[in-house]
Amino acid sequence: MKTTVHKDKQAMGRAAAREGAAIIREAIARDGRAAVIVATGASQFEMLEHLVQEDVDWNRVTAYHLDEYVGLPESHPASFRGYLKSRFVEKVADLGEFVAVDGDADDLDAEIARLNGRIAAEDIAVCFAGVGENCHLAFNDPPADFETEVPYLVVTLDEVCRQQQFGEGWFPTFEDVPAQAVSMSVHQILKSRNIILTIPDERKAKAVKAALEGPVTNIAPASILQTHEAVTVHMDPAAAGLLKPHTD
């Protein structure tokens, strides 16, 4: 695991985007196409802002959606597929395909089966992600399921996770935050060749320390990334504030 602390959020997002774009270009050169996983939330603002400016042959890229709330329409301001369409899909030239999670599908089981069938045979070049205040990875809140091998599943969001979503301003009240989401599983995320984490803000500092320096445990789900051979973590000084001094 490689960790880098950048001077500010813009430098953090720029570096994460450049690294990811280079990986995507390598995959296209090697395989003729690239499959990637894109995340959402406040932590990804700067990374996506810079990623869409990178020189990438986007029509050879298939982008998979990391997670989405159950029952939330795309028109809702907190919809993650709406977030990605406005901040990523519509900003790049001719994206090959965006495989979105339809969290308010009439038949959610069928929607999950569709997603699982699509991603099952993919060789994911890079997964862009963040870490939640409760150290969740995607919407795999503690105690996360480290055993299931299904690519997507319905998960129940814990109170800390829901409070984070309310605190970031996505919902008018805590009660409005959905109790469930469709999330990519931990196992599926770990199948990615490369994982790039972008983590800003002091409120993530405890989770960062647990993920990077704590034991590998499903109580701190992102700690499982310590077992992956190609993880890069980009942080601002506030997010890295509790790490041991030798970590850079």
Domain ranges within the chain, ordered by starting residue: 2-235
Which string of b and e fits 139-151 if b means at least 16 CB within 10 Å? bbbbebbbeeeeb
Structure token pair of residue 88: 């990523």
DSSP 129: E
What value does the mean pLDDT take over residues 4-16?
98
Percent of the chain with pLDDT over 90: 97
DSSP 106: S
Q: How far apart are CA 198 and CA 156, in angstroms?
A: 24
Q: How far is CA 125 from CA 18, 128, 208, in A?
A: 14, 10, 24
Q: Is the peptide bond before 143 cis (omega within 30 degrees of 0)?
A: yes
Q: What is the pLDDT of residues 182-223, one digit of tens each?
A: 999 999 999 999 999 999 999 999 999 999 999 999 999 999
Q: What is the pLDDT of residues 22-47, one digit of tens each?
A: 999 999 999 999 999 999 999 999 99
Q: How much is the pLDDT for 247?
A: 42
Q: Does domain 2-235 have CATH number 3.40.50.1360?
A: yes
What value does the mean pLDDT take over residues 144-156?
97
Q: How much is the pLDDT for 246?
A: 59
Q: How much is the pLDDT for 164?
A: 95
**What mean pLDDT, rounded, does the chain reach?**
96
Q: How much is the pLDDT for 89?
A: 97
Q: How much is the pLDDT for 245?
A: 82
Q: How much is the pLDDT for 100?
A: 96
Sequence-separated (6 or more) residues with CB below 8 Å from residue 16:
47, 50, 51, 128, 196, 198, 232, 234
Q: Helices then strands (H, E): number in the chain?
A: 7, 10
Structure token pair of residue 73: 């329409």
Q: How far apart are CA 129 and CA 143, in angstroms?
A: 19
Residue 67 bridge partners (DSSP): 183
Q: What is the pLDDT of residues 222-243, one digit of tens each?
A: 999 999 999 999 999 999 999 9
Q: How much is the pLDDT for 248?
A: 42
Which string of b and e fits 231-240 if b means at least 16 CB within 10 Å? bbbbbbebbb
Q: How far apart are CA 73 and CA 77, in angstroms?
A: 9
In the block, tokens 């990519």 appear at 184
Give 36: exposed, middle or buried? Use CB within 10 Å, 0-12, 13-18, 19+: buried
Whether the pLDDT of residue 93 is over 90: the answer is no
- pTM given for the model: 0.96
Q: How far apart are CA 58 and CA 61, in angstroms?
A: 5
